[in-house]
Structure formats: C-alpha cells, structure tokens
Amino acid sequence: MSGGGRMGGAGAIGGDGAIGGEGLARLRELLRAEGGLMATLLAPEGNGVGRPQDAASPAVLAAAGPRAAGRRGEYELLIEAIYEGYLLHYGTPRVVRVAEADLGLLAGDQLYAIGLARLVALGDTAAVAELADTITLSALSQGAGCKELAGAVWTAGARAVGWGPSEAHRWAKDLLLAGAPEAIEAMRTSARAPAGAA
C-alpha cells in the first residue's frame, strides 16, 4: 500500500512525505475507493466533517515524530483510521456516520483493522504494539468512566508511536492497569517526556 500523498497547496502532503494535516480527507478517499459497507457510511462532506485536523490530533502528533520520517502521510492516514474506529466506539466520529450502535461497533472494528493492517505492511511492529495498548487502555479508561484518562492515553500513545517508547510511558501503562489514581498524571507526563529511540 502506498504511503504517497496529494501534492498542492497549504496543508497537503508533499513529495517528501511531510505531514500536512490531511489525514481525514485521505481517510475519506480511502474508504470511498474501497467501496462496500464503509463507503456507504461516509458522512456528507461539509459542516466541518472531514476538515483538516488540528495539531491536537493523535495522528498528526504521531506522524510528526522522527520514527515516521519519510512516511508521515501514511502514518497520519493509518492512525486517523484507528482513531476514527475508537471514536465510533466511544465518541463522535468525524468521517463515518452510523444510525445504529451495533453498526457503529462493527464499523469501528473495521477501521481498527484497516489502520493496523497498513501499519503491519510498514513493518513497524513496535508501533503495532503501542497502538494495541492504546486501544486497550483507552477502552479500559472509558469503561471506568474516565474520558479524560482515555484522552491522555491517546496522546501518550501517539507520542510513543512517533518518538519511540519511554520508561515514563511504560510506568504510566502499568499504573493504569493497576487502577492507580495517579495513572492520569503519569500518562500526561509520559506524553511530554523525551522518548527513546524505537
């Protein structure tokens, strides 16, 4: 699968694979091109749906890191797919719209699969593990009723994908799994901490 991007004006992904914040638009194009059920669930364009995401997007954060160098557009696209899947399970999706909860869960799982398959194709097993942890830990946080912790998990996970794992992040994940109340602050700290090379 190609990690190439669109050329053009501000916000585009250039020939060097530089990040441009067009992951949502590219995700829409990917789902439309693949056809099938996912193509029928695309939200109408306009009203802010599919707009270029801001710097807080986990996809933009991960793709800005040194581990994504040379393939930034592909990292942004695949993480947007995974994050959209997460939002179908727990939040408000930006590109896909479903009328029924069960269909939303199925669509979310399909987006997880699309994103992770593209990541496997890149050969980045470390990032596959980090995103699997992110999906699991954010789901645990949501199940515990802590949306703020789930958001911190996504930010820290995106940082780990882009910059590599850190001891601070490993410690934060252990705290969350243990149900420790300090997990949220540890996760926030790990998102800011210098990460090691992958």
> How far is residue 110 CA from its own chain's centroid?
14
Let me know whether 38 and 104 are in one domain.
yes
Count up the domains in the chain and report the number. 2
Confidence category of residue 95, pLDDT binned at 50, 70, 90: very high
23 in a structural domain: yes
pLDDT of 94 strictly over 50: yes
Rounded CA-CA distance 9/38 in Å is 29
Let me know whether 24 and 117 are in one domain.
yes
Looking at residue 163, its pLDDT comes to: 95
Tell which of 84, 104, 123 closes a domain.
123
Let me know whether 66 and 18 are in one domain.
yes
Tell which of 76, 93, 123 closes a domain.
123
The residue among 86, 55, 57, 73 whose CA lies nearest residue 17 is 73
- Asked if 172 contacts 187 with a C-beta cutoff of 8 angstroms, the reply is yes
Looking at residue 45, its pLDDT comes to: 77
For residue 158, give every residue at least 6 positions away whose Cβ sits within 8 Å of its Cβ, in sequence order, or none: 58, 59, 61, 62, 79, 134
* Domain hosting residue 145, numbered range: 125-198
Confidence category of residue 194, pLDDT binned at 50, 70, 90: low
The rounded mean pLDDT for the chain is 84
Let me know whether 110 and 148 are in one domain.
no
Confidence category of residue 22, pLDDT binned at 50, 70, 90: confident
For residue 134, give every residue at least 6 positions away whose Cβ sits within 8 Å of its Cβ, in sequence order, or none: 153, 154, 156, 157, 158
1 in a structural domain: no
116 in a structural domain: yes
How much of the chain, in percent, has pLDDT values that exceed 70?
Answer: 81
73 in a structural domain: yes
pLDDT tens-digit profile of 98-147? 988 899 999 999 999 999 999 999 999 999 999 999 999 999 999 999 99
Let me know whether 45 and 113 are in one domain.
yes
Let me know whether 81 and 160 are in one domain.
no
Tell which of 96, 123, 150 closes a domain.
123
Let me know whether 73 and 146 are in one domain.
no
Let me know whether 117 and 130 are in one domain.
no
pLDDT, mean of residues 34-42: 90
DSSP notation for the chain: -------SSTT---TT----S-HHHHHHHHHHHH-HHHHHTBPPSBTTBTPPP-TT-HHHHHHTSGGGTT-HHHHHHHHHHHHHHHHHHHS--SSB--SSHHHHHHHHHHHHHHHHHHHHHTT-HHHHHHHHHHHHHHHHHHHTT-HHHHHHHHHHHHHHHHH---HHHHHHHHHHHTT-TTHHHHHHHHHHSPPPP-
Q: Which stretch of 34-48, 65-79, 84-98 has the lowest confidence by average pLDDT?
A: 34-48
pLDDT of 192 strictly over 90: no
Let me know whether 112 and 175 are in one domain.
no
Let me know whether 153 and 96 are in one domain.
no
Let me know whether 119 and 161 are in one domain.
no
pLDDT tens-digit profile of 46-80? 644 444 444 468 999 999 999 999 999 999 999 99
Looking at residue 150, its pLDDT comes to: 96
pTM for the whole structure: 0.83
Tokens (6 digits) for 75: 């990292």
